[in-house]
Amino acid sequence: MLVFVAGATGVLGRASVRELIAAGHEVRGASRSGANAAILRELGATPVSVDLFDPASAREAVAGCDAVAHLATKIPPLMKMRSRKAWVENDRIRRDVTKNLVDAALAADAKTFVVESITFVYGDGGDEWIDEDFPVKPAWTALDSTFDLEREAKRFAESGGKAVILRFGLFYGPDAQSTLDSAKLARRRMLPVIGKGQNYFSSIHHDDAARAVVAALDAPGGTYNVVEDDPVRQVEYAAAFREAIGAPKSMRMPRWLGKLFVGGPANYILQSQRISNRRFKEATGWAPSYPRVRDGFRQVAEQMAKADAN
């Protein structure tokens, strides 16, 4: 299968390109620089110079492809996430780029459209397991454009194709900038547990997310949660990360102060989301290599230590 990957040189994109090629697919990856083109060639993919904000350019890039994997995002750095302005480009990608890619995929008569979404769109579930039928209730305006993205994917399905929406948990990995930034803050005791820390976090290692992108090509159309098997509470999540990287004990911060300090993102970080991945596992046979976040954090710490040694 010839797969066009938008966001091919991002952390999830690179991992997905690797997995797609390992699975026997031919990959065409979006690239806007010589350095990124070199990365894609090294991975075994064909780089395509494209402006995804331009409808004609997107159509040319996708022409002849059997499937499109839309993994393009522009998530702000950790210390800038509280600024709503920092999310503007990500909003444009979710709204404008998704529309252009759906139009391009339809013009190319592609059969499958896979898109990266996020589990933060669900409301607070307390201690309940949250499946794909749980009510969506975005806790901050930066999440609103996620629904534009998902609506566009559904438009592809309504036009006769197969759309697979992957709602990923909180990403982490040894080469994810958010993880590296979190490690720096944790070592300085600047990554606090906010409130009582009893709310559930659901996350996913980038490598497991990439394998889910491959599995999605053969999944029935629909919306799926992609997270680890055993989500943990915020206080356990922080302890697992701290212990893996050898950071001091996390400080505690009152809920009101945490919301003031973190800003808008605190509205979804403080929600309890015990997400179930059962539907995706049953539909595809996919299973996470890191079923518990402690397993994944150990791998992250090992890889970070190797990188520091080099």
pLDDT for residue 310 is more than 90? no
pLDDT at 268: 87
Q: What is the mean pLDDT of residues 257-284?
A: 93
Q: What is the pLDDT of residues 60-72, one digit of tens each?
A: 999 999 999 999 9
Closest CA to 61 of 8, 119, 13, 115: 8
Residue 216 identity (one-letter amino acid): A
Band (139; pLDDT cuts 50, 70, 90): confident
Residue 23 identity (one-letter amino acid): A
Q: What is the mean pLDDT of residues 289-304?
A: 96
**Could you tell me if 274 and 231 are in contact, meaning their C-beta atoms sit under 8 angstroms apart?**
yes
What gap in Å lies between CA 153 and CA 151, rounded to an integer? Answer: 5
Tell me the two tokens of residue 286.
């996919």
Q: What is the pLDDT of residues 185-216, one digit of tens each?
A: 999 999 999 999 999 999 999 999 999 999 99
Contacts of 184 (CB under 8 A, 6+ apart): none
Work out whether strand 26-31 and strand 2-6 pair parallel, antiparallel, or are unpaired. Answer: parallel
Closest CA to 238 of 143, 170, 138: 170
pTM above 0.95, yes or no: yes
Count the helix, strand and coil residues of the chain and give each as a percent rounded to the nearest 5.
Answer: 50, 20, 35
Band (17; pLDDT cuts 50, 70, 90): very high
Tell me the two tokens of residue 33.
């620089």
What gap in Å lies between CA 156 and CA 136, rounded to an integer? Answer: 21
Tell me the two tokens of residue 298.
């150990």
Band (15; pLDDT cuts 50, 70, 90): very high
Tell me the two tokens of residue 26.
């031919």
Q: What is the mean pLDDT of residues 219-228?
A: 98
Mean of the per-residue pLDDT values of the chain? 96
pLDDT for residue 309 is more than 90? no
